[in-house]
Chain A
């Protein structure tokens, strides 16, 4: 039987701006805000477009303020886009029809969504009534989720008395007890220790595979992305700069050649000597083994290019030190963020 490949999430040229009052320093600023408030407009999303197939596990990454959470809020229906169109499960999210609400879930790692003073089991019981889950189905789901997350013994403890990790697990159970078809997760492993993060990650993997739920995950933890996501979307300053597989991001066979030269010419000259594109060359100031500052040149090249590049460099100058670094997803992202900070964007073409 042919699988249904109609996208569950469709985003077309979505833009979102926020207008907020700008306050100056001290008393003058406070008075100014009262008498003549000035406003600043921030463009959080700048024409983002993509589609997501059913059952996909997608990683949404970007530096702070890149627009990840804004995008999740638009997709879950909390805020509307300023322009453009978003559709989730065929619905316009901001209209928030009841059927749409029953089929999605949003988990924000930094925001408690369950009732703080109640034991988790009471909160889940209330959710059972809200989502009209038949008691037998509810019991089975709760047992499955609690077992997968290993929190059965904490179900009767007040939420506020649980550790951060246990609380996050309860938040996940609360978000998934109605078996949503689409789950938005905003940094679910934030603040968790290695073990708890691993357990949560494993749970999400199983839930995605077993229930075929579509999951969109934002995380600063590249482990989360590498281990769970088959596809990655990267946002930078509100723009989608990459849409493809994590492997495509690290580019197979690509590595970073690190070289310390006696004399460091300009990037244009280095690229010409090595016979590579200018955007494959980067100069960084780092500490050497003695702790003194030194300039290192990084070449992002294919493995087969290592020898020719080194030969070219040796023919035109003296190499003091060299090394090869593997391309981890984390290092790629760091470079992307670094390029942003340096204002030297090197966007990866959407795949």
Chain B
């Protein structure tokens, strides 16, 4: 039987934590939204306005701007720094606090950390649906996109949590997580639409789950994926989630055996 009481309590706790640091929370949102948007805007302006291009990979300047604005909503959801928190807990010995509680530490940290993202998902969905209606976008598609983004959030954490187990081996596991985040920035579609990749290199992003974080949800929301395509990618996302769950069990099972619980 799945125990919901502690999960709900952890979620509530996560909301309270986010609210305790509301200024930091606000700055995080602004940073996550406007940096990728600014990069994209400069890029599209250079290509279409200065370079004089009319279409790039079949997309007009308007299409690009539409992609940029919509992707902003999903970039907010794509995942936090909970994997960094896990790595730091292993490194500092703080993990000990959680290992003795009758809950799974990886799941507990995720639930506490996802709370502000869920709050954001709700706000973004309302905002996206409202503004989208004005531009003729379906709120149902916006909701489907948000669902995919939330599944992407889980996968993002699973990948990060598995990589965080490198902290059981080396003190400098931060570097591994930083590299992962850089790759995710590129392959999730938050910096550029992934169909800009040359045809011969499309396999790269298709063979990772990262496109499900931003590119996929944006395509769904903008009506560029059919319902069948969406269902197919949702199934792929679920398969990745299952793989991520198994990966965590294996990596944490091995890592915990090496845990030395430093500090006293």
- How far apart are the CA atoms of A111 and B99 in the complex, in Å? 14
- List chain A residues, Cβ under 8 A from B20: 117-118, 158
- Answer whether residue A98 sits at the interface, using C-beta atoms and an 8 A cutoff: yes
- Answer whether residue A77 sits at the interface, using C-beta atoms and an 8 A cutoff: yes
Q: Is the CB of B259 within 8 A of A117?
A: no
The B-contacting residues of A in range 38-88, CB under 8 angstroms, are 69, 73, 76-80
Q: How far is the CB of A113 from chain B (nearest CB, A)?
A: 4
Q: How far is the CB of A44 from chain B (nearest CB, A)?
A: 10
Q: Is the CB of B100 within 8 A of A106?
A: yes
Query: Given A78-B261, A186-B264, are A130 and B9 neighbors across the interface (CB < 8 Å)?
Result: yes
Out of A80, A106, A122, A129, which one reaches B16, CB within 8 Å?
A: A122
Q: How large is the interface on A (under 10, 10 to 19, 20 to 34, 35 or more residues)?
A: 20 to 34
- Answer whether residue B21 sits at the interface, using C-beta atoms and an 8 A cutoff: yes
- Answer whether residue A212 sits at the interface, using C-beta atoms and an 8 A cutoff: no
Q: How far is the CB of A39 from chain B (nearest CB, A)?
A: 13
- List chain B residues, Cβ under 8 A from A226: none
Q: Is the CB of B97 within 8 A of A96?
A: no
Out of A77, A102, A115, A122, which one reaches B99, CB within 8 Å?
A: A77
Query: Given A122-B16, A130-B9, A186-B264, are A113 and B102 neighbors across the interface (CB < 8 Å)?
Result: no
Closest to B94 in A: A111
Q: Is the CB of A118 within 8 A of B16?
A: yes
Q: What number of B residues sit within 8 Å (CB to CB) of A?
A: 27
- List chain B residues, Cβ under 8 A from A129: 5-6, 8-10
- How far apart are the CA atoms of A130 and B98 in the complex, in Å? 11
Closest to B3 in A: A132
- How far apart are the CA atoms of A79 and B259 in the complex, in Å? 7
The A-contacting residues of B in range 1-59, CB under 8 angstroms, are 3, 5-6, 8-10, 12-13, 16-17, 20-21
Out of A96, A108, A115, which one reaches B264, CB within 8 Å?
A: A108
Closest to A119 in B: B16
Q: Is the CB of A111 within 8 A of B93?
A: yes
Q: How far is the CB of A94 from chain B (nearest CB, A)?
A: 9
Out of B3, B101, B102, B263, which one reaches A110, CB within 8 Å?
A: B263
Q: Is the CB of A78 within 8 A of B101?
A: no
Interface string of B61-95 (1 = CB under 8 A from A): 00000000000000000000000000000000110
Q: Is the CB of A101 within 8 A of B101?
A: yes
The interface centre, meaning the residue of B93, B97, B103 with most chain A CB atoms within 10 A of its CB, is B97
- Answer whether residue B60 sits at the interface, using C-beta atoms and an 8 A cutoff: no
Q: Is the CB of B101 within 8 A of A130?
A: yes
- How far apart are the CA atoms of A18 and B101 in the complex, in Å? 25
Q: Is the CB of B100 within 8 A of A117?
A: no
Q: Is the CB of B100 within 8 A of A111?
A: no
Out of B12, B21, B97, which one reaches A111, CB within 8 Å?
A: B97
- How far apart are the CA atoms of A131 and B3 in the complex, in Å? 11
Q: How far is the CB of B4 from chain A (nearest CB, A)?
A: 9
- Answer whether residue A125 sits at the interface, using C-beta atoms and an 8 A cutoff: yes
- Answer whether residue A104 sits at the interface, using C-beta atoms and an 8 A cutoff: yes
- How far apart are the CA atoms of A171 and B22 in the complex, in Å? 26
Query: Given A126-B9, A131-B102, are A78 and B259 neighbors across the interface (CB < 8 Å)?
Result: yes
Q: How far is the CB of A177 from chain B (nearest CB, A)?
A: 12
Q: How far is the CB of A92 from chain B (nearest CB, A)?
A: 14
- List chain B residues, Cβ under 8 A from A113: 97
- List chain A residues, Cβ under 8 A from B94: 111
- How far apart are the CA atoms of A131 and B8 in the complex, in Å? 13
- Answer whether residue B260 sits at the interface, using C-beta atoms and an 8 A cutoff: yes
Out of A79, A101, A117, A130, which one reaches B21, CB within 8 Å?
A: A117
- Answer whether residue B195 sits at the interface, using C-beta atoms and an 8 A cutoff: no
Closest to B19 in A: A117
Out of B6, B8, B16, B100, which one reaches A77, CB within 8 Å?
A: B100
Q: Is the CB of A96 within 8 A of B13?
A: no
Q: Is the CB of A78 within 8 A of B16?
A: no
Could you write out 30 A-B pairs with CB less than 8 Å apart?
Answer: A18-B260, A77-B99, A77-B100, A78-B99, A79-B259, A79-B260, A96-B99, A101-B102, A105-B100, A106-B96, A106-B100, A111-B263, A113-B97, A115-B13, A117-B21, A118-B13, A125-B9, A126-B9, A126-B12, A128-B9, A129-B6, A130-B9, A130-B101, A130-B102, A130-B103, A131-B102, A132-B3, A132-B5, A158-B20, A186-B264
Chain B residues with a Cβ under 8 A of chain A: 3, 5-6, 8-10, 12-13, 16-17, 20-21, 93-94, 96-97, 99-103, 257, 259-261, 263-264
